[in-house]
Amino acid sequence: MSTLTRVTAAKVPVTGAAIAAALLATLAVPGAAAALPQHAGQPAAHARTHIPFTEATVEQGDDGSYTVKWSAPGVRKVAVRANGRTVARGDGHDSVVVRGLPAADRQWFDIVPDHGGSLRLADRLIKLEGTVNFRDAGGYRTRDGHWVKMGEIYRSDSLEKLTEADLAKLERLGIRAVYDLRMKSERAQAPDKIPAGAEHIVADVLAGSDTFTAMPKTAAEAEQMMIDGEKFMVSGDTARTAYASVFSGIRDEDDRAVLFHCTAGKDRTGWSAAALLIALGVPRDTVMKDYLASNDYRRAANEAALAQLPPEQAKIYKPLLDVRPEYLNAGFTEVQDTYGSFSRYANKALGLDTRELRDLRKDLLLG
């Protein structure tokens, strides 16, 4: 087990992420209730062989069906397998809808081409009663044709509303380490609920940030607050310590499956996921799409929060609840300006030297 990192602060900063957290907490926006598909554990390991798929996704519908899409240039036939049997077939570029599968914690599909390596995928979103933005960090293709394993690393919004059923499901998912990226005030107001057998590790990203001291008065000020907060996540001392702790846990195979989360699961969590995917070789445009997906997963909760405010105030606070390309791009720019390259950032801030980065990719990539 990796050494625990506990970062605290003498005073609580008022940052964009913190204000968004406080806004959501004050308005007590409930999580979206949904039934969770079942999965008895992590997916089986795959051999190192070329995977011909350039795109592949699984999405669960509200009616319990699953849409499986893929693209595999040069492949003529693809079989889709679930629960040990073939449930659909297609060609090299196809989309199928699978119905009638039994309820599961998480439904996995093996997408098997007529030549080359197969993929094991599930819907990225983990539907729980107490969260709205709990999802798998894997299932993405790298620039050189590898795929990030699913069932290993998870990201989420706050966990204080997890139900007993949620916790039991997360225990079955094999969550063994929970990295809490929130500030001391957030943790005190909404203590984490974690599954049995998991360790709770504090990795307070914003503990050292005192850039902001007041609520924004305009939407432009709120946007700048979020941009400045993103920069701090890259170069702030406590941010570097916190994220180095997370990546230490990810590197430690005994700790996996690993979950990292903040309050909304979009800013501090968003940068952690973005840094991981970039380190694994996922293209930046794919990383951006993953980052922006929080707008979709959080839409209902955010709209409910803003609906409780006067229109002019809602306009000012909306940037705090959004994720926007300019926010994440500010982080990428800060990496370049402060470290010169992502590899130097990974080494100096995340504690990943060349060998450790190579081992991380070997451990978390397929193909």
The tokens for 57 are 């996704």
Angle between helices 16-27 and 299-307 in degrees, nearest 10: 70
> Which of 69-83, 251-265, 345-359 shows the lowest per-residue confidence on average (mean pLDDT)?
251-265
Write the pLDDT tens digit of every residue in 90-113: 999 999 999 999 999 999 999 999
**Mean pLDDT computed over every residue of the chain:** 88
* Overall average pLDDT of the 7-24 stretch: 45
pLDDT band, residue 252 (cuts 50/70/90): confident
pLDDT of residue 23: 59
* Overall average pLDDT of the 260-274 stretch: 98
The DSSP letter of residue 199 is E
Same fold, 16-36+128-366 and 49-125: no
How remote is the C-alpha of 157 from its chain's centroid? 9
CATH assignment of 49-125? 2.60.40.10
The tokens for 278 are 């970039």
The tokens for 133 are 């933005």
Share of the chain above pLDDT 70, in %: 85
Write the pLDDT tens digit of every residue in 216-245: 999 999 999 999 999 999 999 999 999 999
Write the pLDDT tens digit of every residue in 144-183: 999 999 999 999 999 999 999 999 999 999 999 999 999 9
Share of the chain above pLDDT 90, in %: 83
Cβ proximity of 203 and 242 under 8 Å: yes
Radius of gyration of the chain, Cα coordinates, nearest whole angstrom? 20
262 tagged catalytic? yes
pLDDT band, residue 78 (cuts 50/70/90): very high
Q: How far apart are CA 267 and CA 319, in angstroms?
A: 12
* Residues 258, 263, 264, 266, CA torsion sign: negative
pLDDT of residue 26: 41
pLDDT band, residue 42 (cuts 50/70/90): very low
Domain layout of the chain by residue ranges: 16-36+128-366, 49-125
Q: pTM for the whole thing?
A: 0.88
96 backbone dihedrals φ, ψ, rounded to 5°? -130, 155
Q: How far apart are CA 145 and CA 7, in angstroms?
A: 38
The tokens for 344 are 């130097």
Q: What is the DSSP string of 43-92?
A: PPP--S-----SEEEEEE-TTS-EEEEEE-TT---EEEEETTEEEEEE-S
The tokens for 4 are 């625990």
CATH assignment of 16-36+128-366? 3.90.190.10
Catalytic residue among 262, 305, 360, 365: 262
* Overall average pLDDT of the 261-277 stretch: 98
